[in-house]
Structure 1
Amino acid sequence: MKPDVKQSGDSSVTLLSFDTSTATLAVAIVRNGVVMDSAVTLTERNHSVRIISEIKNLLIRNGLQASDLDAISVGQGPGSYTGVRIAVTVAKTLAWTWNKPLIGVSSLEALAFGAWKALKQNDEDMAIDRDTWIIPLMDARRGQVYTSRYAAGYPDKWDTIDQDGIRLIADWSLRMEEKATLENQVAAIWFVGEIAPHKATIEQAEQSGARLRTYAYEMDAGAVGLLAELKYRQGQQNDVHSFVPNYTQLAEAEAKLLAASRGE
């Protein structure tokens, strides 16, 4: 059974998007590059109980049924091992049941993209002639973070520089400062997302006096949908059966089990 995909002549696109990679359960409806409605709930360790009801409430509130949707978009991770698995499972189930294309988006990219949009709306001091680096952070404990790096600029520049990975925040922040100094084309470096556990470490890496900045930001499913819409319009989608979460690293219990099987 092939997903129900609109013909290219129909330019209107409506997506249901959601993400559970962090403590935040985020759901949204995106249509034609606009976030029509969204909801954010702090439900850490309770995503599996709330996600279906939150999706249902969002659709009812906007008078939508499955037939009105063109695709299902989901944050694929990395992030919370259990959280990412929940979102991906629900997305696959809905895409298969409703016969809709499935589009996975990096949860880190969505975190970064949403923060970038918020920073611009807040009239933060952004350079027009130089790039701004957006560095999303999700706490991975023990001084580690899930992170990546994006170059943003006016009017609509958005490029991936470093792929998703788990890194030591002390080394990562120093590396970002050093690279920006060498390139000399970076106006500012914004560390966004789960900032609180790592703010002091980031501040210690500051050398230029004003380049490293922090911005606490919660996951926004609207950003997931906006990124997914770009993929949808380019004809990109994921195979429902082979689609899996991007954990970036094995869960601790799984890693220990693998090590034991190797006699490590």
Structure 2
Amino acid sequence: MEEQRTQGSGDGLLVLAVDTSTAALAAALARGGEVLKDVQSLAERNHSVHTVSAVQAMLEECGIKPEQLDGIAIGRGPGSYTGMRIAVSLGKTLAWAWNKPLVGVSSLEALAYGAWQDAAGGAEGAAAAGAASAECAANGTEQSPIWLVPIMDARRGQVYTASFEARAQARLGAEPPAEGTWRRLSKDGIRLMHEWVDELAAAIAAAEPPRRPSAVWIAGELALHEAEADRLQSVCPDIQVRKLPVWLEGRAVAALGAARLAAGESDDAHAFAPNYTQLTEAEVKLQERTAKQAAAEGAVPDEGH
């Protein structure tokens, strides 16, 4: 599993965030760690009707004019093919019309980061984090991380997924991840859930302290994948596997976007595109077999000549 750091601070930056990669329309206005307005609407994927009006209503309700924005953060997927394009198209249009920097954010990372904020900021998460911190302080050891595994159903037993490492209790709001507290472990992609659980179990077994996780939180669309989440618990009995059926939140997109903006990053609004993810390994192999078969059939000489 590869490792990449997500760093940066979005203190004071006013960010408009929108994501339409899932069934939930997620949008937010945030300044630094303060959420001015957060919208989450299950619009049955009818985002083309509601997204523009939701953004307009947020700006008007908060008394924010476009020129006051420091940037626009857009969830670029992976996820629903049609849904992703709505937010991406809106972001490109607004960035060009308002002359504002545009940053893309992984929808999977936003799903994971939002779940971490919500769960760690709750009473149960705070108590667990406090107990773990106290135990490590007493033993003179580094606190074990939590792995966040976001999943979005991709049909036929597949999920859009990735994995991240969290090392400190998050604060509720739109606070960008502090340095050293949040790390990407694997790329966004589409995977068979059964194989993904096997891969996670192997990664857990191979990890040594202090990188070995104390818990794995699987967050997102769990309805069709609970059995596999439970299987991960059965094959890794010494690791707490926590299931978090949550929807993506706009404030998480804003937090990750603010971190990119604060680091001086931005995307080319004209070239900005959704992340459609790569084909699964099975699909790649099927294409290879089909191509070889077609080539072989084309190489057979015509007996009439």
Match of 1:208 in 2: 236
- Find the aligned partners of 2:232 and 2:213 in 1 and give their Cα distance: 16
Maintained 8 Å contact 1:137/1:193: yes
User: 1:168 and 2:192 equivalent?
Assistant: yes
Answer with 1 or 2: which has the greater Rg.
Answer: 2
The percent of aligned pairs where both chains have the same amino acid is 41
User: 1:133 and 2:147 equivalent?
Assistant: yes
Post-superposition shift, 1:176? 1.1
Q: CA RMSD in A?
A: 2.0
Maintained 8 Å contact 2:22/2:45: no
Q: Which has the higher contact order (CA 8 A, sep 6+)?
A: 2
- Find the aligned partners of 2:61 and 2:98 in 1 and give their Cα distance: 19
User: 1:47 and 2:54 equivalent?
Assistant: no
Match of 2:36 in 1: 36
Post-superposition shift, 1:94? 0.5
Q: How does 1:48-197 map to 2 (within 5 A)?
A: 48-122=48-122, 123-124=124-125, 125-126=128-129, 127-128=132-133, 129-154=143-168, 156=178, 157-184=181-208, 185-197=212-224
Match of 1:6 in 2: none
In the TM superposition, what whole-angstrom CA distance separates every residue of 1:181-234 from its partner, at most 9, and x where no partner exists?
A: 331421001110111110112212322335222111101010001011111111
- Find the aligned partners of 1:110 and 1:80 in 2 and give their Cα distance: 15
For 2:222, the aligned partner's letter is I
- Find the aligned partners of 1:150 and 1:204 in 2 and give their Cα distance: 20
- Please, which runs of 5 or more residues in structure 1 have no aligned partner? 1-10
Post-superposition shift, 1:34? 2.2
- How many residue pairs get matched? 247
- Find the aligned partners of 2:206 and 2:242 in 1 and give their Cα distance: 18
Post-superposition shift, 1:174? 2.3
Match of 1:235 in 2: 264
In the TM superposition, what whole-angstrom CA distance separates every residue of 1:123-159 from its partner, at most 9, and x where no partner exists?
A: 3224441010000000001110000010101254100
For 1:182, the aligned partner's letter is A
- Please, which runs of 5 or more residues in structure 2 have no aligned partner? 1-10, 134-142, 170-177, 296-305
Task: Write 1 or 2 for the structure with the bigger share of strand.
Answer: 1
In the TM superposition, what whole-angstrom CA distance separates every residue of 1:72-99 from its partner, at most 9, and x where no partner exists?
A: 1100110000000111000000000111
Maintained 8 Å contact 2:47/2:86: yes
Match of 1:221 in 2: 250
For 1:199, the aligned partner's letter is E
